[in-house]
Amino acid sequence: MAAKIDNDPLELQLREMKLPGMATTLQARLAQANAGELGFRDLVQSLADDEREHRDTAAIARRTRAAKFEEQVTLEDFDYGYSSERRKIAGKLRDLTAMRWQAAGESIVLHGPTGTGKSRVAQGLGQLAIRLGQDVRFTHTNNALRHLENGRAKGLWERRLNALARPAVLVLDAFAVREFTATETQDLYELITARPGKSMIVTSGRPPKEWYKLFTDKALAEAFLDRLVNTSHHVFMDGPSYRSQQRPGRATGTKTDQAAQPGRKTTRKVA
């Protein structure tokens, strides 16, 4: 096996040419070639594959940071068997992981009681979109509306609206927790019309049929909700809160916990 060359001019040149994936594996690939494990073409192909993998990994990390998820969760860890309610919608949720909705520019509405995993499913689907090379943004609805409102006074409203309109997938978490002002209704309408052909994932503790009454500007509300509700896949996530599984000491499965949650699993999979 060839000895590692410190400050190898070729490795340094690869880094200068912004080919860090190749530079990182250069010595190992040369050792394979010297051992007869790689021919000339295989050596070049392996280095090219290393560079592609490095760039793909770096891009996923960059898009994940930009998404601003609350938690780094994946749907591979989602506990579909936690409750009978989850088992009933397991097929529908797994179908969404095929990401056909995103390719078609459709949206998703996840609604139901608190603690049933709506935000985690939304973030898990966002992670899948990132793996497919899409930009994603996660934000609480109230925070997004406040950010836009503050932008008006600073002359940054249009820039902030465009930032929310740009990603291929926008996750609006905790939607419809309170009444919307006329200005907020206008902002939501402007936001959805600035995203033609792009997907949204909306989570809410209220069913869509109750949203309309929360808007003061009924005409704009109808225009906004028509674009969102009628182009979305709706999933009602019912059942007991998974957060009871995450209480300190819950993993030990005490008799008190077992009595309070008869027949309930003690797994700590991601909700």
Could you tell me the pLDDT band of residue 7, with boundaries at 50, 70 and 90? confident
pLDDT above 60 for 269: no
Cα–Cα dist 23/1, whole Å: 18
Residue 242's pLDDT is 86
CA 236-240-245 angle, to 5 degrees, is 125
Pairwise CA distance, residues 3 & 256, whole Å: 62
CB 201 within 8 A of CB 169: yes
pLDDT of residue 1 exceeding 50: no
Binned at pLDDT 50, 70 and 90, residue 77 comes out as: confident
Amino acid 134 reads Q
At 177, list the tokens. 């927790």
The confidence band for 246, taking pLDDT boundaries of 50, 70 and 90, is: low
Domain annotation for the chain: domains and CATH numbers = 10-66 (no CATH), 68-256 (3.40.50.300)
What does 3-59 look like in DSSP terms, one character per residue?
Answer: PP-TT-HHHHHHHHTT-HHHHHHHHHHHHHHHTTSS-HHHHHHHHHHHHHHHHHHHH
Between 4 and 196, residue with greater pLDDT: 196
